[in-house]
Homo-oligomer: A and B are copies of this chain.
Amino acid sequence: MHMTLGLHKALQQRPDAEAIRFMGRSTTYAQFGARVARLAGALRALGVKDGERVAMYSLNSQRYLEYDLAVPWAGGVLVPVNIRWSAAEVLYSLDDSGCEILIVDDTFKTQAASLAKNAKTLRHLIYAGDGETPAGMLNYETLVAQTEPIDDAYRHGEDLAGIFYTGGTTGFPKGVMLSHNNLGAAAQISVQLGIYGPGYTYLHAMPMFHLADFAPTIALFLCGGAHTIIPMYEPRLMLQTITAERPNVLLMAPTLMQMTLDWLAANPEAAREMDLSSLQYVLYGASSISQTLLDRTLTVFRSAKFIQGYGMTELAPTASLLMPDDHRGTLLRSAGRAVSGVELKIVDGQGHEVPRGTVGEVVVRGPNVMLGYWNKPEETAKAVRNGWMHTGDGATMDDAGYIFIADRIKDMIITGGENVYSGEVENALMSHPAVAQCAVIGVPSERWGEAVHAVIVPKAGAKVELASIQAHCRELIAGYKLPRSFEVRSALPMSSVGKVLKTELRKSFAAEPA
């Protein structure tokens, strides 16, 4: 498998079909393919060798899709930058991956210019915007126009295709290495859903740096459907785009569903002009859906079937799916069953399968399991044992193979579809002058699924205020990782071996979102 396969097939079978709709412009596969082969040529001319890392720091755009295809075409490795991260986190990921080229759009050109001063390996900045090219940057369109197209480098199979950074338990992100086969397997899973094909259109409403959007991207190329892109999620923009462009498939975190519903309820007049009847499938993931939210969503997206995915970046990213017919009764609390071609089981600490209904750790084996963490062989060996990815998620399995996520064993909070590791937030908090001890947990939130909550033991005589904590943390970690609420305690509950008993801390919060 290789990531450009679908594009080659489209060029062979339907070069004149529409590939992309963005900002009112329509682009055929032939036009898109020519730009990809030229951009790849430019990257190669700038010194990109097989396996070299190329980053992109940008909102969604057609050029993002060109980057996604041109980097593997040139033999390079994708490093999509998480646009929600702090400057320190972005810099870490660029340095850690040894990135030599960064492509940046108008929104992030200032940040990128500033980053470039401190980045260790960065050699070139490419400006993929529509204004004047900032000093010290190359112009994307000039490169595409002035370079001859090149042949596909045909990196494939176990070759590294991308490094996708994910929050780290140790305070800094880890680079998840995914191969062409990993991403190909992920795309095949999407292909098998049977929701893409010629005549189908997928709307990129989630950020394109996100792996959740990347698997559908590759699947869509394999199947020959078209891409509609909006620069970023915004309720009105998304709804207007659905109304005008009539896409068939949409991927949303439940948080975005919630925001969409809230916007529609708050804007009844505008809501009446929105036509969502083109949507046949709504894919969602990162957290389960409540009956209340599902009911509300089904009222609005009444033409659509719902598919839930569960997984993690290390699994490229899908491990299980809850299919449309399973959106009923108690199965609504399930994360579905193992996807095609992938094994999933629930094991105890010794790796033995536990009886059905007993909580254990979710482990997954198959072609979607990452190559490993970039430059972190020890953490890789801990995570992938005997081919099985140890997710750190606790779950039960019922007699029909459906899994129910019980707890985040490794202490991860999923808020608004983003992973936040408690450890990261705790590290940031501990450097605050008023904090003696702390523990960070996720608490139920109707809006975010979970919200970051801090339990703080203040230093003697010190006073703790939310604004001060947030301001302090904002310098160190991304905005979505900031504690949204906190409580003060005189001591943290501890186990006999000195571990904070977070289960105790969580007890005061209702299981159901307030």
By a beta-carbon cutoff of 8 Å, the part of chain A in contact with chain B is: 1, 5, 8-9, 12-14, 154, 184, 188, 191-192, 194, 222-223, 337-338, 340-341, 343, 345, 366-367, 387, 397, 400-401
Contact = CB atoms under 8 A, between A and B. Distances in A.
B188 A343 contact: no
A7 to B, nearest CB: 11
A401 B337 contact: no
Contacts of A191: 192, 340
Contacts of A367: 1
A367 B184 CA distance: 11
Nearest to A367: B1
Contacts of A1: 341, 366-367
A343 B9 contact: yes
B337 A222 contact: no
Given A192-B191, A194-B194, A338 B401 contact: no
A337 B188 contact: no
A188 B190 CA distance: 12
Contacts of A154: 387
Q: Which interface residue of A5, A9, A188, A341 has the most chain B CB atoms within 10 A?
A: A341
Main SS of chain A's interface residues?
Answer: mixed
Contacts of A340: 188, 191, 222-223
Contacts of A387: 154
A14 B402 CA distance: 11
A223 B8 CA distance: 29
Contacts of A5: 341, 343, 366
B8 A343 contact: yes
A293 to B, nearest CB: 27
Contact of A188 (B8, B188, B194, B223): B188
16 contacts: A1-B367, A5-B341, A5-B343, A5-B366, A9-B343, A12-B338, A12-B345, A12-B401, A14-B400, A14-B401, A154-B387, A188-B340, A191-B192, A191-B340, A194-B194, A222-B340
A341 B3 CA distance: 10
Given A191-B192, A343-B8, A367-B1, A337 B13 contact: yes
A27 B235 CA distance: 53
User: Across chains A and B, which 7 residue pairs bring their CB atoms closest together, nearest first?
Assistant: A13-B401, A12-B401, A194-B194, A192-B192, A13-B400, A191-B192, A188-B188
Nearest to A10: B401
Contacts of A194: 192, 194
Given A9-B338, A12-B345, A184-B341, 11 more contacts: A1-B341, A1-B367, A5-B341, A8-B343, A9-B401, A12-B397, A12-B401, A13-B337, A13-B400, A188-B188, A188-B340
A1 B397 CA distance: 23
Contacts of A13: 337, 400-401
